[in-house]
C-alpha cells in the first residue's frame, strides 16, 4: 500500500485549552493535520485524487478513498460515491449505560465524547464521559494498525487497566474503561489483512 493513500487529519480541541499542541502525531508517524472538520464523514471518490493542497482537485485514473474534512470540496462532483465513512472497527458497550450497543469507528482520527456531534458519540447517559474529546482512537491506514490517545477532556480512560496518558497501540478486543460506569470492547474490522483501499484499487482493474 503506497504512501499516496495516507490521509491528513485534524485533532479536535477541547474548549479548556484550544491552543494545546498535539505532539504524538509526529512521533508515531501519523499524517499532518490540515482540515478543521475531522468530524465530517469519510467518502470514496472515483477518478480523483488530492495534491498537497487540501482543497485542490486533481484528475487521476485511480479510485481514492478520502476521509473527514474534505467532503464539502467534492459534494457536487459527478464522481462522488455514496459510500460514506467506511467502518474500520467498533466499540461495543459491555458495562454501563448503553449495554449491548455499539458505535462505529472510521479511518484516521476518531474523537470520542458524549456530545451528539462527536465522530464517535457515546450519548448513552454516562455524565462521567466528557462531552467532547474524551478519548481518541486512530486507525493508521498506511500501516493498518490502531492506536489510542488521551483527548483534551478532564476525565481519564484506561485500556486493559492501564491509564491512557500517551499514544499507545490498541489491540483487537482490548477493554477500554471510559469511566467507572462505562466499559467498551474494541473490535477491529480493518487489519493487516484488509483495508478499504484494497476495495478501491480493485475497482480500477
Three cell numbers written together for 134: 474524551
Q: Which three cell numbers stand for residue 115?
A: 456530545
User: CA dihedral in degrees (202, 169, 93, 85; nearest 10)?
Assistant: -30
pTM of the model: 0.61
Q: Which residue ranges make up each domain of the chain? A: 3-84, 89-188
Give CA–CA dist 26/48, Å, rounded.
27
Per-residue pLDDT reduced to its tens digit, 71-109: 444 444 444 454 568 999 999 999 999 999 999 999 999
Instruction: Tell me the pLDDT tens digit for each residue of 130-152.
Output: 999 999 999 999 999 999 999 99
13: left (phi over 0), alpha (psi -120 to 50) or beta: beta
pLDDT for 128: 96
Q: How far is CA 73 from CA 57, 67, 181, 197, in A?
A: 8, 12, 40, 20
Distance between CA atoms of residues 183 and 32, nearest Å: 31
Determine the straight-line distance between the first and last CA of the chain, rounded to whole angstroms: 16
Q: For strands 64-66 and 57-59, give the pairing.
A: unpaired
Question: What 8-state DSSP symbol labels residue 126?
Answer: -
**pLDDT tens for each residue of 13-51:** 444 444 444 444 444 444 443 344 445 544 433 433 333
Residue 204 is predicted with a pLDDT of: 55
Phi, psi for 71 (deg, rounded to 5): -65, -35
pLDDT above 50 (res 63)? no
φ, ψ (nearest 5 deg) of residue 201: -65, -35
Q: Residue 23: what pLDDT?
A: 47
User: Would you state the CATH architecture of domain 89-188?
Assistant: Sandwich (2.60)
List the 168-169 sheet strands across, edge first: 120-121, 108-113, 135-140, 145-150, 168-169
- pLDDT score for 199: 80
Amino acid at each position: 500500500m503506497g504512501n499516496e493513500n495516507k490521509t491528513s487529519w485534524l485533532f479536535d480541541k477541547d474548549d479548556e485549552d484550544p491552543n494545546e499542541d498535539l505532539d504524538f502525531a509526529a512521533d508515531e508517524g501519523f499524517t499532518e493535520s490540515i482540515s478543521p472538520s475531522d468530524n465530517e464523514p469519510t467518502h470514496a471518490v472515483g477518478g480523483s485524487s488530492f495534491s498537497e493542497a487540501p482543497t485542490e482537485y486533481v484528475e487521476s485514473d485511480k479510485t481514492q478513498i478520502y476521509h473527514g474534512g474534505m467532503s464539502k470540496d467534492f459534494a457536487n462532483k459527478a464522481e462522488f460515491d455514496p459510500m460514506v465513512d467506511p467502518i474500520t472497527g467498533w466499540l461495543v458497550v459491555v458495562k454501563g449505560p448503553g449495554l449491548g450497543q455499539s458505535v462505529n469507528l472510521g479511518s484516521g482520527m476518531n474523537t470520542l465524547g458524549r456530545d451528539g456531534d462527536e465522530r464517535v458519540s457515546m450519548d448513552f447517559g454516562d455524565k462521567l464521559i466528557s462531552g467532547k474529546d474524551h478519548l481518541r482512537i486512530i486507525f493508521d491506514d498506511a500501516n493498518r494498525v490502531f492506536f489510542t490517545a488521551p483527548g483534551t477532556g478532564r476525565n481519564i480512560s484506561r485500556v486493559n487497566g492501564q491509564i491512557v496518558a500517551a499514544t499507545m497501540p490498541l489491540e483487537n478486543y482490548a477493554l477500554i474503561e471510559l469511566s467507572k460506569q462505562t466499559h467498551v470492547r474494541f473490535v477491529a474490522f480493518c487489519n493487516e489483512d484488509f483495508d478499504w483501499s484494497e476495495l478501491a484499487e480493485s475497482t480500477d482493474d
